[in-house]
């Protein structure tokens, strides 16, 4: 991702924090993380986030999805003795559709990013509106996509080790370098 | 606590959620927890809360403190093999003063509830304004008190086992019965 793309996405994310009434420190605003998963299609496939805390035991983040932006399918594996990451998504603003294993929705609200259809394999749909939440247990495939207005989502979880996430799309690189 | 006191505190707490722009489901609104710690002095010593999630590994809550209301000094002990609760408090609205072990503030912003001074033994002061946060590790004494406007605080933690909390004041009962 080039720096201009990063800065534009960061400023856009700040507007969503503002709409959701979530207050960040100046340092958090400066350091908003923008993930394009190394696919260079940020508008369609990406995630903006602030990590409030990530200790050995607990992690809390705020996630921003732009309108119809998709966080691609992945799961959180166990690492040695440590069970995989458990995460609860709570929608704070907007709308997000979450897809998990289970009975496939026959008429899903979302389509995967064009050309990547084969990397979206779980189709049980959960719609989250503000105040609604859902918990994903370890080693469970999931992906999510915002509705037409975008979404602001709180994530409450065990420790995040993002570089260990397993994405269904083998081309994905969760922690690509930022080009200066 | 009698039912009238409970309902009044619940409705008052809802106003704070609204001021902070935090959206709850109807079920969460109905079930807001009001803790007076069995002391029957809710205006001065108490806490209102919604628990979003509390699994074996992760807990997330939203806490409301009314103006100058105090959550009394306590710590979270380890339970057998399980290390004690670790909690991060993030101020979302208003102001909260948090007291922890360390160099005592010579001119603290808060005084303990009258008559209970001896149960407030840690005096290192941390002021949290919206967007600011602080992490309390296990077995660390702490207490907190809202500023003049009250406070809305997100708590991100490991599993909560409230009935195991150890309060400095031996008269405290964290889970008193609600009188019908
Ligand atoms: Zn995930
Ligand atoms: Zn505590």
* pLDDT, tens digit, 9 for 90 and up, residues A61-86: 999 999 999 999 999 999 888 899 99
The beta-strand segments (E) located in B6-132 are 33-35, 47-54, 59-65, 70-75, 87-100, 124-128
Nearest by Cα to B89 from B34, B160, B157, B149: B157
Distance, in Å, from the CA atom of A154 to the CA atom of A91, rounded to the nearest integer, reads 6
Provide the CATH topology of domain A3-167.
Jelly Rolls (2.60.120)
Q: Is B4 helix (H, G, I), strand (E, B) or coil?
A: helix
Do B100 and B124 form a contact (C-beta atoms < 8 A)? yes
Average pLDDT of the segment spanning A11-32: 98
Task: Kindly indicate the confidence band of residue B178, based on its pLDDT and cuts at 50, 70 and 90.
Answer: low
Do B67 and B149 form a contact (C-beta atoms < 8 A)? yes
Q: Please give the C-alpha separations between residue A9 and each of A3, A12, A42, A152, in angstroms, as whole numbers.
A: 10, 5, 9, 14
When the pLDDT of each residue in chain B is averaged and rounded to a whole number, the result is 96
Most distant CA atoms of chain B, gap in Å:
45
Which is it for the CA torsion B22, B26, B27, B31, positive or negative? positive
Number of CB pairs, chain A paired with chain B, less than 8 A apart: 71
Interchain pair A156, B156: CB under 8 A: yes
Distance, in Å, from the CA atom of B89 to the CA atom of B74, rounded to the nearest integer, reads 15
* pLDDT, tens digit, 9 for 90 and up, residues B54-103: 999 999 999 999 999 999 999 999 988 889 999 999 999 999 999 999 99
Residue with tokens 């003795």: A81
Residue with tokens 């705020």: A62
User: pTM of the prediction?
Assistant: 0.95
Report the share of chain A in percent with pLDDT over 70. Answer: 97
CA of B113 to the centre of ligand 2 (A): 18
Q: Is B67 helix (H, G, I), strand (E, B) or coil?
A: coil
Whether the pLDDT of residue A177 is over 80: the answer is no
Quote ipTM for the complex: 0.94
Of all ligands present, the nearest one to the C-alpha of A144 is 1
Q: Please give the C-alpha separations between residue A160 and each of A53, A93, A104, B111, B128, in angstroms, as whole numbers.
A: 10, 23, 28, 39, 25
* pLDDT, tens digit, 9 for 90 and up, residues B116-168: 999 999 999 999 999 999 999 999 999 999 999 999 999 999 999 988 999 99
| Closest chain A residue to the Cα of B50, Cα to Cα | A131
> Which residues, numbered 107 to 166 in chain A, qualify as contacts with chain B under a Cβ-Cβ cut-off of 8 Å?
130-133, 135, 154, 156-158
Whether the pLDDT of residue A180 is over 60: the answer is no
């Amino acid at each position: 991702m080039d720096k201009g793309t990063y800065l534009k996405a960061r400023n856009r994310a700040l507007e969503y924090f503002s709409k959701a009434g979530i207050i960040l420190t100046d340092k958090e605003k400066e350091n908003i993380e923008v993930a394009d998963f190394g696919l260079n299609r940020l508008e369609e496939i990406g995630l903006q986030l602030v990590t409030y805390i990530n200790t050995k035991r607990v992690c809390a983040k705020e996630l921003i999805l732009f309108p119809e932006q998709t966080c691609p399918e992945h799961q959180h594996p166990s690492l040695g003795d440590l069970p995989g990451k458990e995460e609860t998504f709570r929608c704070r603003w907007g709308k997000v559709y979450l897809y998990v294993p289970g009975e496939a929705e026959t008429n899903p609200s979302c389509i995967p990013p064009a050309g990547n259809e084969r990397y979206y394999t779980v189709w049980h749909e959960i719609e989250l509106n503000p105040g609604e939440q859902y918990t994903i247990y370890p080693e469970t495939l999931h992906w999510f996509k915002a509705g037409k207005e975008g979404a602001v989502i709180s994530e409450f979880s065990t420790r995040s080790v993002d570089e260990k996430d397993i994405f269904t799309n083998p081309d994905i690189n969760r922690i690509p370098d930022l080009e200066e």
